[in-house]
Amino acid sequence: MEKYDVIIIGGACAGMSSAIYSSRRELKTLVLTKDIGGQIAITTEVENYPGYESIMGPELAQKLKAQAEKSGAEIKMEVVTEIKKAGDDYILTTANGEYQAPVVILTFGLKQRQLGAKGENELTGRGVAYCATCDGPLFRGKKVGVVGGGNSSFDAAEYLSTLASEVHLFNRTDKYRAEDVLVDTVKAAKNITIHNFTEIEEFVGEQRLEKVLLKNTSTNEASEIILDGVFIEIGWVSQVDSIKGLKDMLEIDERGYVVVDNQSKTSAPGLFAAGDVTNTPFKQAVISAGEGAKASMSAAVYLQRLKGGSIVINNKK
Amino acid sequence: MATELNNETFQKEVLDYKEGPVLVDFHAPWCGPCQMMGPIIDELGSEVEGSGIKVFKVDVDAQQELAQKFGVMSIPTLIIFKDGKPKETMMGVQQKENLKSMLEANK
């Protein structure tokens, strides 16, 4: 089993920033992640990450990775399935083996919320999609739907209206959480129809999505619409459950977020967390990056105490 | 490295190839997850060289006909072909080791 000083689970803004700070402290650092960049990698333009007036999300993700690697961190594209405690250390299991470290930093963010409608799982990737910027261009000239009333769904609708022939936006109420300016743009688009008080009951199709069964949430009236694709953009939820043993080790709030103090410590010694996975408010790339740095600095202090040495205050490099 | 295919080369390299499994990565330049997958596919392509296993890429933007033919509606989509027929389809970023063992299993 390979031993590290610090293992970071997750490879987006919080994780890569953690990795940069840990490896610059000359701590043997491993990042285990299923992807690079997380939510940022599926965003189009990022215009609020300081230092870049404007940068494409995937490019920012690659830059974070390159910087973490240059700092000395090892990055493995492996999914952690289980965590166990062994003395002062944690043992992490992936499909490729086990990794051990006294410090684990949780930075694996959130996962996209599913609608929970009938046929959704079966038709995912066959017309049901969760990433307009990834899969949108595959629906050029086709009829598509978008589910949700927030910024991400209105954003998706606006983007898809430039590609698809028709866009139908489904919202359960007549209120929108999206910014007014975005709502106005969507309302002004000629090929977007907003269906208020409407939810999707079922996705129907054999090999691919053929039609969608709808229900009016105020009158219960049923209807259907023929669509080639539907993009589900209804937010993000906790995925703490995806690692066996994790939620029994630490405090988690009612929404599934990992509870941390102002030094990024969880309730379990040696377990730190940063970014969207935590109960820290405001899910933003720059906040995650800052929190990731803080978690690593806090972890370095913990490691020094554990090893009984003096505490290094400044970075060595 | 993994070579990019077009309609004609796809026929020869994938559909007419009978010596082993062929992995095809359907991707596009504008897709973030595809940019993560790209280097993994290139590495895998180099590692399996000479083993009978082949690894290729198809840009769905440039090759819309191929994307339609194999029902690609989400990218990246990875398809393992055996004797010219699709055997396994995977969507989203995949790990190299998993792809390798799936290819070995289809040898």
- Count of pairs with CB atoms under 8 A, one residue in A, one in B: 73
The side-by-side arrangement of strands in the sheet containing B3-4 is B3-4, B54-59, B22-27, B77-82, B85-91
Active-site entry in B5, B14, B34, B103: B34
Compare all CA atoms of chain A with the CA of B28 and give the residue at the minimum distance.
A134
Catalytic positions of A, written as ranges: 131, 134-135
**Measured between alpha carbons, how far is A282 from A9 in angstroms, rounded to an integer?**
21
Interface confidence (ipTM) of the complex: 0.73
Q: Are strands A103-106 and A6-9 parallel, antiparallel or unpaired?
A: parallel
- What is the structure's pLDDT at A316? 46
More confident residue, B64 or A201: A201
Residue B98 counted as domain residue: yes
Split at pLDDT 50, 70, 90, the class of A98 is: very high
**pLDDT surpasses 70 at A38:** yes
Domains: count for chain B: 1
Mutate one of A138, A140, A142, A163 to test the B interface: name it (highest B CB count within 10 A).
Answer: A138
Mean pLDDT of B25-48: 88
Q: What is the DSSP letter of A285?
A: H
Instruction: Say yes or no: B22 contacts chain A, CB-CB below 8 A.
Output: no
Instruction: Say yes or no: B97 contacts chain A, CB-CB below 8 A.
Output: yes
Residue B7 counted as domain residue: yes
Residue B72 counted as domain residue: yes
Average pLDDT over chain A, rounded to an integer: 93
Residue B83 counted as domain residue: yes
Mean pLDDT of A57-63: 89
- A36 to chain B: which residues are within 8 Å by CB? 36
- A34 to chain B: which residues are within 8 Å by CB? 93, 95
**pLDDT surpasses 60 at A313:** no
What is the residue range of B60's domain? 3-102
- What is the structure's pLDDT at A309? 63
Tokens of A109: 């963010």
Residue B58 counted as domain residue: yes
User: Exposure string (b/e) for A72-107, b if CB count within 10 Å is 16 or more?
Assistant: bbbbbbbbbeebeeeeebbbbbbeeeebbbbbbbbb
CATH number of the CATH domain containing B41: 3.40.30.10
Residue B76 counted as domain residue: yes
Residue B107 counted as domain residue: no
- A124 to chain B: which residues are within 8 Å by CB? 74, 91
Residue B12 counted as domain residue: yes
Compare all CA atoms of chain A with the CA of B40 and give the residue at the minimum distance.
A77
- What is the structure's pLDDT at A36? 87
Mean pLDDT of A64-86: 95
Q: Which pTM value belongs to this model?
A: 0.79
Tokens of A232: 């589900």
Q: Do A134 and B34 touch (CB under 8 A)?
A: yes
More confident residue, A136 or A278: A278
**pLDDT surpasses 60 at A139:** yes
**pLDDT surpasses 70 at B17:** yes
**pLDDT surpasses 70 at A312:** no
- Which residues from A are below 8 Å from B when comparing CB atoms? 34-37, 41-43, 57-58, 61-62, 77-79, 95-96, 124-127, 129, 131, 133-135, 137-139, 207-208, 229
Instruction: Say yes or no: B95 contacts chain A, CB-CB below 8 A.
Output: yes
